[in-house]
A and B are shown apart, each in its own frame.
Chain A
Amino acid sequence: MMPTIVNRIRKLRFEHNEMTQAELAAKVGITRQTVHAIEQNKYAPSLETAFKIASVFSEEIGAVFSYQDKLQ
Chain B
Amino acid sequence: MPMSFREKTAWISMLSMLLVYGWYFIGQLPTFLARTTVVPEITSRLGVTIFALVFLQIIPIIVFSAGSPKEAQARPDERELMFEFKGFRSGFVVLVLGALLCCVGGLWLDISRPILAQAILFAVVLAEVSKLGTQIFHYRIGL
Contact = CB atoms under 8 A, between A and B. Distances in A.
Interface stretch (B75-83, B97-105, B111-119): B75-83
Nearest to A34: B79
A36 B4 CA distance: 12
Contact of B143 (A29, A30, A43): A43
B79 A30 contact: yes
B106 to A, nearest CB: 43
B79 A31 contact: yes
Interface residues of A, number: 14
Contacts, number: 38
Interface in A7-65: 29-34, 36-37, 40, 42-43, 45-46, 49
Nearest to A30: B77
B143 to A, nearest CB: 6
Given A31-B74, A33-B1, A36-B1, A42 B142 contact: yes
Contacts of A42: 141-143
Interface in B57-95: 71, 74, 77-80
B79 A36 contact: no
Contacts of A45: 78-79
B143 A34 contact: no
Given A37-B142, A42-B142, A49 B1 contact: no
B51 to A, nearest CB: 33
A31 B74 CA distance: 9
Interface of B: 1-2, 4, 7, 71, 74, 77-80, 139, 141-143
